Structure 1
Amino acid sequence: MSFRSRFLPWPSRYPMLLLMLAAIVGILVAEFQAYTPGLGFCLVTLLVGLYFAYRPGLATALPLICLGFIFWHSQRLAETFGHPVRQHLLTRPDTAETATVQGRLYPWTEGAELDQATALCEVTHLKWSRETQFTPQKLSVKVRLPEGYTLATPGIYTLQGRLSLPAPPNNPGQFDAVTYSLRMGWVATLKAQEITLEKADALALRFRLLHAAEASRQWITQRLTQGLESQPTQAGVILAMALGASDAAGKDIEDAFRDSGTLHVFAVSGLHVVMLAHIASMGLSWLGRLRLSIVLILLVFAYAFITGWRPSAARAAFMTAFVLAAPLLNRKSQVINILGAVALLLLTAETHLLFMPGFQLSFFVLLAIVMIASGLLTLTHAWSELDPYLPPTLATYGQRCGSRLRMWAAALLFSSIAAWFGSLPFLLGHFQTFSPVALVSNLILVPASELCLLLSCISLVFASLHWGWAVAAFNQLNAHLASFMVAAATWFATWPGANHHVNVVQVTAPEAAIQVFQLPFGGGAAYLASGSQHWLLDTGNEDQWRYVVRPFLRQAGVDQLQGLILSHSDISHVGAAPWVLAAQGRPTLHTSHLEPWKPDPPFSSLKKLSTQVHPDSPLWQRHEQGQTIPIAPYETQPITAQVLHPGPRDLHEKADDRGLVLMIHLGAFRVLWLNDAGFITEKRLLEKPDTLRCDLLVRHQHSADIAGLTELLLAAQPQAIISSNDRYSPEETLPQRLRDFCQQQQVPLFDLEADGSVRLEIQGAQAQLKAFKSTRSMILKPRQP
């Protein structure tokens, strides 16, 4: 087939797809060119619109759509990223400002559930603390309600409190709450201190629909977990697949589905909406085509709304409605055209959706399935369909069933392949990961998820009939299926090469690098890399591992750690060690010779870890003062960590006083890693002051002791200091004497709370320090020996 005959019919065959692409181009132009439409632009758009009205056609529709979306997305950017309230608060980044706002309050939905402690306020008037009168101001604000307050009455409220911007990320790879909030349409956060109802709203349709959806979720939750009180894990998996309540099953199970490339079956997506429509169509086929189509359309929209109106679910609901409505209107449905029309509809409602991973994956994965899988299926017709010379009426029941089974298997296989390739660029771009195992795992878990949804639907039907015994029986059956799915996802996730992380941010890696993370609540962790060697120095606790350290490793393209140094038995420093071992190929552990501390209780961090890895085994090496931990080869000399503390006499009860202190040698540079060293440890280190001289000093706070002694800092003579800080916790606050010392000695101080994560990169005889949040930087030069 020639190029001309193959591709020229596309515009007339799929006009809505081309219009969708024109809208995407318009949004991207407004986003990345920071274009603000002026009078001339509006005049051109108007002329194109008039010409389209006079001579409608695709040739004029494409520029009209493109120009229209440039204008529309520019307006949306001005309402969020460029809002005057946000610009005002950006001038006060470290403080909140007292304000009084008036507007409508709505319940806050977090995923698929209402958050009773939070609300969304559509502000109409605002007054700063220094002003006496309200001024009209249109914006959306996330409201933290006062403790114990329940939003029960819809209407217009007056709220007084502290208005602030969402906190930016402190570490590379961390979730960007600022951009997310602006994409979702809300500009700032108000911590409300006083709330007054000014006028009740008798209608309040949106308010009542949100509460109705919550009531429906509660009813479904109670019915689907009936009889599963002693099986919380299985109940959580069922709720995650039926309602999108992924938190109910726990983070470990969510990780298993993510690492097996099947997270889309673990949470409600467009796949679930289509499955529900398929299940309902089989059960309600007796209604007839017209009534069945109406019921299915209402059902899929209700399901998408109850489960949180995710972009993928909204897309599937609209597409299902268009496909079902087309025959009723004597129209032929084209999936690609419908996909384009739904995308145009959703982007018109909110242009920021284009930048949401869920929207991108939902639309472009389906487009890949339609374009790739349909082509591959034509190659298997000879294998899957009945013999063309055999009349269907003469085929046996076994032949017909075999043909259907082969067609179903081929469709499942090719859909999985097409979806994998369609999702690959977005998974790499957003999450720096791809899962080859998904090509196989989806063949098992996608049919299992539809069976799980079918059993949930049957259970709900029996619940509406008040047949409790049948509800409990089907829930138990579903629980066994959920257990199988968890086991299968966990097994697939453990396959060699199941997941790969790709560094798409940094093109060329430095010869050596240390990344010191900013972790809250006294946590500590750092990443050390040279060539193919990747190490962690402490891990933080479980949440810090999941939301800070692991996303960084994923972004850096690290699939396996070679070593893990654990400083002391503090949950804020080493609490995530079991998860690191499971996720990073069981790296070699390195601790002090005192760990695990014998008097510690069995539930302490390193005592629990010793039940998984035996101390002094090849996977757990213990070190004392004077010994050296080899880390990586280097051009001039190996990268090593010399143990400065503890020694044989440092038998202190408090974990902070027996923590590892290391001098890390990185080529010509020396990094003194103090951890949570306090007065006792620093005095012991000062017994050998000649071993303390360094180029960079990294420290955290001792929880109950004086630290940061001037004598030690003078002995170390660092070119720069990195220190943790938590101004909201007196025990974790950076000492003022350390600030004074740095100011007097003109030593740059990197405050992790203010500057964010700090990275040291070494290239040859030069090293650079750079802070992630504040972007401060400095050059370290090697000292003369």
Structure 2
Amino acid sequence: MATLAVLAACYLPSIRNARRPRKVTHRVALAALMVVAAHLWHSHRIHVHGEAPAHPHHVTIHGTIASSKTYSWRSEAVIDVSEIESTAPINAPLRLITTSTSPFPANGSPITLEGTLTSPAAARNPGEFDHRTFLRSRGIRAELLVPHHLRNLHPTTPKPPSWRDHTKDLVLHGNPQSPAAAVVRATLLGDRSSLTPDQLTTFRHAGVFHLFAVSGLHVGLLGVLVTTAARLLKAPLKLSLILAPPAMFIYALAVGSPPSAMRAAWMGTIGITIFLIDRKVRVTNLICIAALLLLINDSYLLFQPAFQFSFSALLGLVIVGSSLYQKLDSTLDHDPFIPKRLLTRTQRATTVTSKFLAGNACASLGAIAATAPFSIHYFNLVTPASIVGNLLLWPLTLAIISCGLATVLASIAHLHFIAAGLTSLNLMLGGLAERVATQCAQLPGGSLTITHDPPETARLTIYDLDDAACSTLLELPDQRPLAVGSGRTDMWRYTIQRHLTQISHNTPANWIVHHDSVTHNGYALTHPAKPDGSTTYVSEASTIAQLTLPDAHPLARGHHIPLTPNTSLEILFPPAGFSAARQDDRQLITRVHCGNWRILLLDAAGFLPCATVLAHAPETLRADIVVGGWPNHDVPLTSALLHYIKPKAIILRSPPISIPHARQRKLNQLLEQSGATIIRLRDHGAAIIEIDGQSLRVTGHVSGHHWEFNQSADASDRSSSPYPATAVQNQ
């Protein structure tokens, strides 16, 4: 229904000039019928009526390959399943996705696979990419996990390099690897995989990130170049125009058929066709027809950000931008009673320049106004700097595209010395574009972050990361958050940093680096301390982190980090000058004090840190909530530790695959005797702790379950421990 409503609204501007109501009724009815037919046909084609089982099941599936993609170390395929062999009743047909270590056969080939059929995993942390929702937007409702020893047994032959791969190699002669080359590839092909996070942030805050989306600017320039070349060769006008659509579609297919490029190709083709049959071209009609043609092939594109940004920007440019320019155009002309041939060269140049600047500013304002809702929703960002950025970078983008196309032609003609020279020129233009974007991003007020309401109380997010990595984010009213640990680089980039962006913080004010962050090749090794006034702390037990971040403040037992008058962070381990060989023994143990509440962060601390804390001051270990991880060799909690902590709840991070089942069973027995509420991140996703005065609430991000705790039951209510004192002494 949402698809029908939005598409009908998109088609209404094209019928406002109809002279008779009957024509209006006919056009609305035709648009509705086209949308209904497109959605029903697409839904039937991708078999959206199939669903994955509620629990994983071992199955054997028979089907055909709908599409496949090969990456550097794996291949991914979307399979339309026609038959499922399983002991459980599972409906077919069904569309699913699977991966393999070897390439899949060609599209349309029959395939039989054996594995575990399961539902795609949802986002387990706030701000994390929601893989399940993304797959459902493509009609994929299940995932097949194929065992490693069966992944390369399906019959296949290696695929030869495609013409798309050859085209990507021809764009830059010699395939150079540099930051400027990454900018050129992103501009020409929309390939942003080589861009660094800093480059992505720079272009996004400069408001020119759309230049990396192959759209009408790229496709239209190619059409103009093809038409101009044909005219220079004395070809008739109509023949020159007929040659443009095939070139535009080849370009759109070569860059992976993104919605913006296909939209531009369809609009160019339809516009040229209408011009050739001597009909009047209405841009709004072209936009609506292009949208319908794309959605007929895939109606789920309507919910993809690329489709939303592309069409909203174009509608804003055509409707809002053109309206603004029409109001300014008359004011930019000289006296209308003076013939233009009587104007001096300076007056004519001034008029042309002012109209060019006004046109660019109006187009940018229209695009900003139309895409602002989507930009706020996805990035919490509005970028007025794009008015200046577009004015300066559009000419550079045109030069990069023209130079890239010339490089491709020179490489095809085996003129390698010319291709090498054009590549050098393009790299220079790419570096210049990055410098201009950097200056635009640094303009005062150039990027406005839409801030969410800060939490009224303290909030802790216990992330559920892979491989037993540990990270916790502490948010406080009117302050930027405190990050304790970061996990691996990919975990920081794709989980924690996205969450920080979602709550309108690009970097935390305070950041604690402990051994876990460094041994997992984490954020500390690739991103030094930011020069934005933030404070970085490092555990004294991590020699690597201290060498990597020499300006960081060392942390040892007894240190307190004051955050607010009622909130602070206490360091319990390691003691000053501590050193150990095992990773389990170098973990950081901290405790958050928030009012009368205490939250103990053990993370992946092993036996030695826990024993050291117990030997130093066991009576100070009292905590209401304890967060435990999984050491590599030890059990995360001990009976002696729980005897002194007396927790109301225990939050246990997800165990990695390498943890033996015997150790998990031993821990389960220990937890059953504790009498505390057990919250497992494996079952509930990230745990979000909200503290409001005398009450504390824990919520599971995935399950939505919540647990309430009240401070009225003080420590004296838990003075009795299920563990005898002799057991404590023996431990």
Give the shorter-chain TM-score range. 0.7 to 0.9
Structure-1 residue corresponding to 2:120: 166
**Structure 1 residues 627, 605: closer, same or farther in 2, change over 3 A?**
closer
Equivalent of 2:509 in 558, 562, 565: 562
Q: What amino acid sits opposite 1:775 in the alignment?
A: G
Matched, 1:140 2:95: yes
Q: Find the aligned partners of 1:452 and 1:737 in 2 and give their Cα distance.
A: 63
**Structure 1 residues 195, 697: closer, same or farther in 2, change over 3 A?**
closer
Matches within 5 A, 1:316-715: 316-382=264-330, 384-385=332-333, 388-393=336-341, 400-495=348-443, 498-502=446-450, 509-533=455-479, 534-559=481-506, 561-568=508-515, 570-571=517-518, 575-577=522-524, 585-592=532-539, 594=540, 597=543, 604-610=544-550, 614=551, 620-633=552-565, 638-648=566-576, 650-687=578-615, 688-715=617-644
Q: CA deviation at 1:372?
A: 1.6
Question: Gapped runs of 5+ residues in structure 2?
Answer: 12-20, 716-731
Residue deviations 1:682-740 (CA, integer Å, cap 9, x gap): 00111222111111111222233343111101211111112222342228997433322
Matched, 1:108 2:68: yes
| Range 728-737 or range 679-688, more displaced | 728-737
| Conservation of the 8 A alpha-carbon contact between 2:513 and 2:545 | no
Residue deviations 1:187-220 (CA, integer Å, cap 9, x gap): 32334537898999xxxxxx9xxx89x6332222
Matched, 1:23 2:13: no
Q: What amino acid sits opposite 2:110 in the alignment?
A: I
Q: CA deviation at 1:309?
A: 1.2
Q: Find the aligned partners of 2:268 and 2:396 in 1 and give their Cα distance.
A: 22
Q: Find the aligned partners of 1:650 and 1:387 in 2 and give their Cα distance.
A: 83
Residue deviations 1:322-367 (CA, integer Å, cap 9, x gap): 2222211111111112112222222333322211111111111111
Computed over aligned residues only, the root mean square deviation of the Cα atoms, in angstroms, reads: 3.5
Q: Find the aligned partners of 2:477 and 2:47 in 1 and give their Cα distance.
A: 40
Q: Find the aligned partners of 2:332 and 2:533 in 1 and give their Cα distance.
A: 45
Q: Find the aligned partners of 2:661 and 2:369 in 1 and give their Cα distance.
A: 47
| Conservation of the 8 A alpha-carbon contact between 1:254 and 1:266 | no
**Structure 1 residues 778, 70: closer, same or farther in 2, change over 3 A?**
farther
Structure-2 residue corresponding to 1:120: 78
Q: Find the aligned partners of 1:320 and 1:583 in 2 and give their Cα distance.
A: 46
Q: Find the aligned partners of 1:83 and 1:441 in 2 and give their Cα distance.
A: 46
Q: CA deviation at 1:474?
A: 0.7
Structure-1 residue corresponding to 2:217: 271
Q: CA deviation at 1:435?
A: 2.9
Q: Find the aligned partners of 1:754 and 1:326 in 2 and give their Cα distance.
A: 58
Q: CA deviation at 1:402?
A: 4.5
Q: Find the aligned partners of 1:367 and 1:178 in 2 and give their Cα distance.
A: 30
Q: CA deviation at 1:390?
A: 4.3
Q: Find the aligned partners of 1:497 and 1:410 in 2 and give their Cα distance.
A: 21
SS at match of 2:647: coil
Q: Find the aligned partners of 2:155 and 2:558 in 1 and give their Cα distance.
A: 71
| Range 191-200 or range 553-562, more displaced | 191-200
Q: CA deviation at 1:177?
A: 1.0
Q: Find the aligned partners of 1:116 and 1:575 in 2 and give their Cα distance.
A: 24
| Conservation of the 8 A alpha-carbon contact between 1:671 and 1:696 | yes
Q: Find the aligned partners of 1:732 and 1:233 in 2 and give their Cα distance.
A: 47
Q: CA deviation at 1:175?
A: 0.9
Q: CA deviation at 1:759?
A: 0.3
Q: Find the aligned partners of 1:116 and 1:538 in 2 and give their Cα distance.
A: 30
SS at match of 2:162: helix
| Conservation of the 8 A alpha-carbon contact between 1:259 and 1:493 | yes
Q: Find the aligned partners of 1:734 and 1:168 in 2 and give their Cα distance.
A: 28
Q: Find the aligned partners of 1:372 and 1:734 in 2 and give their Cα distance.
A: 64
| Conservation of the 8 A alpha-carbon contact between 1:79 and 1:139 | no
| Range 727-736 or range 357-366, more displaced | 727-736
Q: What amino acid sits opposite 1:755 in the alignment?
A: H
Matched-pair identity in %: 25
Residue deviations 1:169-198 (CA, integer Å, cap 9, x gap): 101111111111121233323345378989
Residue deviations 1:73-106 (CA, integer Å, cap 9, x gap): 47866887963332xx2x10xx353222122x25
**Structure 1 residues 415, 263: closer, same or farther in 2, change over 3 A?**
same
SS at match of 1:652: coil
**Structure 1 residues 153, 596: closer, same or farther in 2, change over 3 A?**
closer
Q: What amino acid sits opposite 2:267 in the alignment?
A: M
Question: Gapped runs of 5+ residues in structure 1?
Answer: 1-17, 27-54, 201-206, 598-603, 615-619
Equivalent of 1:99 in 54, 60, 77: 60
| Conservation of the 8 A alpha-carbon contact between 1:173 and 1:551 | yes
Structure-2 residue corresponding to 1:295: 243
SS at match of 1:730: coil
**Structure 1 residues 407, 25: closer, same or farther in 2, change over 3 A?**
closer
| Conservation of the 8 A alpha-carbon contact between 2:219 and 2:251 | yes
Q: CA deviation at 1:71?
A: 7.8
Q: Find the aligned partners of 1:249 and 1:712 in 2 and give their Cα distance.
A: 47
SS at match of 1:247: coil
**Structure 1 residues 156, 559: closer, same or farther in 2, change over 3 A?**
closer
| Conservation of the 8 A alpha-carbon contact between 1:116 and 1:150 | no
Q: What amino acid sits opposite 1:694 in the alignment?
A: A
Equivalent of 2:670 in 741, 747, 760: 741
**Structure 1 residues 82, 318: closer, same or farther in 2, change over 3 A?**
closer
Q: Find the aligned partners of 2:4 and 2:275 in 1 and give their Cα distance.
A: 23
Structure-1 residue corresponding to 2:110: 156
**Structure 1 residues 197, 560: closer, same or farther in 2, change over 3 A?**
closer
Q: Find the aligned partners of 2:573 and 2:91 in 1 and give their Cα distance.
A: 62
Q: CA deviation at 1:369?
A: 0.9
Q: CA deviation at 1:773?
A: 1.0
Q: Find the aligned partners of 1:510 and 1:226 in 2 and give their Cα distance.
A: 56
Matched, 1:238 2:184: yes
Q: Find the aligned partners of 2:198 and 2:666 in 1 and give their Cα distance.
A: 43
Q: Find the aligned partners of 1:277 and 1:560 in 2 and give their Cα distance.
A: 43
Q: CA deviation at 1:560?
A: 5.1
| Conservation of the 8 A alpha-carbon contact between 2:580 and 2:586 | yes
Structure-2 residue corresponding to 1:183: 137
**Structure 1 residues 318, 108: closer, same or farther in 2, change over 3 A?**
same
Structure-1 residue corresponding to 2:724: none
Q: Find the aligned partners of 1:348 and 1:81 in 2 and give their Cα distance.
A: 15
Structure-2 residue corresponding to 1:5: none
**Structure 1 residues 21, 746: closer, same or farther in 2, change over 3 A?**
same
| Conservation of the 8 A alpha-carbon contact between 1:708 and 1:735 | no
**Structure 1 residues 584, 354: closer, same or farther in 2, change over 3 A?**
farther
Q: Find the aligned partners of 2:368 and 2:528 in 1 and give their Cα distance.
A: 28
Equivalent of 2:50 in 78, 84, 92: 84
TM-score (norm 2): 0.86
Q: CA deviation at 1:374?
A: 1.0
Q: What amino acid sits opposite 1:97 in the alignment?
A: H
- How many residues are matched? 696
SS at match of 1:248: coil
| Conservation of the 8 A alpha-carbon contact between 1:107 and 1:115 | no
